[in-house]
Amino acid sequence: MKLLVLTLKRALWFLPTVVGLIIITFIISRIIPADPVALVAGDTATPAQVAALRAKLGLDQPLPMQLLNYFEGLLRGDFGRSLFTTRPIADDLMHRLPATIELTLAAMLFTMVVGIPLGVISAMRRNSLLDHALRVVTVSGLAIASFWLGIMLQLWLAMQWDWLPLAGRIEGFKPTDITGMYTVDSLLTGNWSAFASAAAHLILPALTLAFPALATVVRFTRAGVLDVVQSNFVLYERAMGFPPVLITWKYILRNALISTVTQIGLLFGILLAGTVVIETVFNWPGIGYYAVSSILLSDYNAIMGFTIWSGVIFIIVNLLVDIGHTFIDPRESGA
């Protein structure tokens, strides 16, 4: 019940947040002194032809009217069309979003599966050689530019040793489309060669994306564990003869995870929005590069569509993080 109340409270803020996001992004994208209509009309278009196209696209109307029309379209589920391709924005986004989600999920999975245990080990073996080595790794993760890391991985693992593919999502074209995530779709259809190809292509970009996130998770987990390990209940459990493995991985970790879970939620949102560099280096056809191209071309509807989707996903992820907190620490649901 308390969880339901918490969820409803968070959900009430959802709509005003998204509306505010739409208004701000709409205004900013329109007041930038760019002229995408002239680009669409072509290099040789006269001012009269550009004006005619602008009127046809409804972009000659006052800004408040354009905003109203946009909201009207949204209520119908219409995100508008790309100025450049004339295709529905919703189609373009749905087409690209799974690629970014797949990459982000793979990176987050690696980050959690590797980062949390490393954080615990680093804390429990504080000031050991392993702890110092991990500290070097975490500092590197935060300091190294992701594009440089990506290129280095391409040079060594793809070019020099030919262990993994250089770029792209899969050899050839995609498997049968169910979720849009190639690894998942190929597993669901039993297409093992497609799965192998998709997984192999996913490794390098996911590792590159995960590295800075891994550093953050290791550090937060380590800090959390160090904080909890001094607690009285740990002393009590040791005194009672509980196995050390049980104390560490069940009792200490659970109490230490609060801040880590929050970071994971934030990281997911950041990675989702920040994959553009990785997508560019590895030629990963996701939403990141689509978003940047839209911004550079001032493709208004595409910018709005990407912003709305990113905002919604970010809000949902943080809601899930808050819900996750209540499971880790039931005291939170009473807050």
Partner 1 sequence: MTRFHTTVRRLGRGTLLVLALGAALALVAGCESKPDKPTKFVFANTSSFDTLDPHQSFDVGRVAPRINLYDGLYRWVDNPPELIPWLAESYTVSPDGLKWTFKLKQGSKFHDGAEITAEDVVYSTERIFGVGKGAAALFSRMLEPGRTKALDKYTVEFTLSKPSAIFLSIIPEIHVVNSALVKQHVKDGDWGAEWLSFNDAGSGSYVLDQFDPAVGWSAKRFDDHFYGWGENSLPEIEFRVVQEINTRVLGMLNGDYHGTDGYLPYDQVKRLQEAENVQVLDEESMRIFMFQLNNQRAPVSDVNVRRAISYAFNYDAFINDILSGSVERNPVPIPNNLWGVPKDVKGYSFDLEKAKAELAKAKVKPDRELTIGVLTGFNQTEQAATLLQDGLRQIGVKSRIESHPWPVMVGKMKEPSTSPDIVIYWISTYYADPNNWIGEMFNSAGWGTFKSSSFYKNPKVDALLDKALQSTDMAVRAKAYEEAARIVVDEAAGVWVYNTKWFGPYANNVQGVRFCPIGNGQEMRWVSFK
**Footprint on this chain of partner 1 (rule: CB under 8 A):** 32-36, 38-47, 49-50, 52-53, 56, 82, 84-87, 92, 95-96, 99, 117, 121, 151, 154-155, 158-159, 162-169, 171, 173-174, 193, 196-197, 199-200, 203, 280-283, 285-286, 289-290, 293, 296-298
Quote the DSSP letter at residue 330: G
Bridge partners of residue 320, in order along the sequence: none
Cβ proximity of 201 and 104 under 8 Å = no
Residue 88 Cβ vs partner 1, minimum distance, rounded to whole Å: 8
Residue 308 Cβ vs partner 1, minimum distance, rounded to whole Å: 19
Closer residue to partner 1, CB minimum distance, 117 or 324: 117
Closer residue to partner 1, CB minimum distance, 183 or 258: 183
Residue 76 Cβ vs partner 1, minimum distance, rounded to whole Å: 15
Q: Any idea what the Cα angle at residue 270 is, between residues 265 and 274, rounded to 5°?
A: 155
Closer residue to partner 1, CB minimum distance, 188 or 320: 188
CA distance 184 to 234: 41
Closer residue to partner 1, CB minimum distance, 200 or 320: 200
Closer residue to partner 1, CB minimum distance, 269 or 288: 288
Which residue matches tokens 């849009």? 180
> Of 260, 209, 218, 261, which is closest to residue 102 (Cα–Cα)?
209
Cβ proximity of 108 and 321 under 8 Å = no
Residue 262 Cβ vs partner 1, minimum distance, rounded to whole Å: 25
Six-digit token string for 88: 């529905």
CA distance 204 to 236: 45
Residue 167 Cβ vs partner 1, minimum distance, rounded to whole Å: 5
Cβ proximity of 304 and 70 under 8 Å = yes
